[in-house]
Amino acid sequence: MSIKKDEFTAHLLGAQRLHVQQVWEGFEIVLGFESRTKYRILDQNLNPLAFAAEQSSGLGGTILRQILGHWRSFKVTIFNQARERIYDVEFPFRWFLKTLILKDATGRRLGHLDERFAFFRKKFDVYDDRGKVVARINSSFFKFWTFDFRFGPNHLGTIQKKWSGILGEFFTDKDNFVVSYADPNLTAEVKALMLATCLMVDIVYFEDNQGRKGILGLFD
C-alpha cells in the first residue's frame, strides 16, 4: 500500500527514526561509476515510506556528475511510492560553502541550510521558511560518522552513517543512514529539513565524483 502525501507528513510528525538506504542502478555495478543518486526511505521498522532521486539524467547529467561531483547545481526529489512528489531538495552551485533549499511539491520554500566556515569541523545553520535559525550542526572531525542537530542546550536529533566495516566502506558505494528525532516537538518542516540534510551528507561527504566513498570526502 502506498503512502500518500498527507499520510507521509503525518508519519513524519510521529516518527522517532527513519532509515535512508542508497539504491544502486544496475549498470553502476558493471561500469564502476555513478549516475543518478537514489535512496529508499524507510520507517523505524524498515517499512518503505518514500524514495528520493537526483533529477539530473541522461548522458550530459552523468558527465557533469563525473566532472563536477557535488559542486554542480542539481536537485533531489523526495516522492512517495505512488510517485507523487513530496519535497524538492535543491543544491545550488557552490565552489566553497555548501547550501541546500527545501521546497514542497507546490514550490513553497520550507527552509534551507547553510554551511559555516570552520577548521576540522562541519558546521551548519538550519533555517525555517522565515529565515529564522531553528537548529545548528557542529560535527567534529573525531565524530565524522555523526551529525548532531542542536538548538541552544536542546538536542533535536542525529544523522548517523551506519558503519559497514572497513571492507564495506572501501569496496561499495551503497550507504545506509539513520535519522533520529530526539525532540517530540519538532515540526514536520524541521524533520523534513533533517531528512534533506541526510541526503546532502551522503552526496557531499561520503562520495566523490569518481564514485568512491569514504573518509576522504570529509576533507572537502
Q: How high is the pLDDT of residue 216?
A: 40
| pLDDT tens digits along 151-205 | 999 999 999 998 655 444 444 446 799 999 999 999 999 999 999 999 998 888 8
| pLDDT tens digits along 60-94 | 555 455 545 555 677 899 998 888 999 999 988 76
Q: Is the pLDDT of residue 107 over 70?
A: yes
Residue 220 located in a structural domain: no
What's the domain range around 27? 5-210
Name the amino acid, one letter, at 155. Answer: H
Q: Is the pLDDT of residue 15 over 60?
A: yes
| pLDDT tens digits along 30-46 | 334 455 688 999 999 99
* Helix or strand holding residue 134 (H, E): strand 133-140
| pLDDT tens digits along 68-77 | 555 567 789 9
Residue 168 located in a structural domain: yes
Residue 215 located in a structural domain: no
Residue 71 located in a structural domain: yes
> Rounded to an integer, what distance in angstroms lies between the CA atom of residue 51 and that of residue 159?
18
Higher pLDDT, 57 or 150: 150
Residue 89 located in a structural domain: yes
Q: What share of the chain is helix, strand, coil (3-state, %, to 5)?
A: 30, 40, 35
Q: How high is the pLDDT of residue 70?
A: 52
Residue 188 located in a structural domain: yes
Residue 202 located in a structural domain: yes
Residue 217 located in a structural domain: no
Q: How high is the pLDDT of residue 33?
A: 41
Count of structural domains, the chain: 1
Phi, psi (degrees; rounded to nearest 5) at 93: -65, 130
Higher pLDDT, 181 or 138: 181
Q: How high is the pLDDT of residue 214?
A: 44
| CATH code of the domain covering residue 199 | 2.40.160.200
**Residues facing residue 181 across a β-bridge:** 157
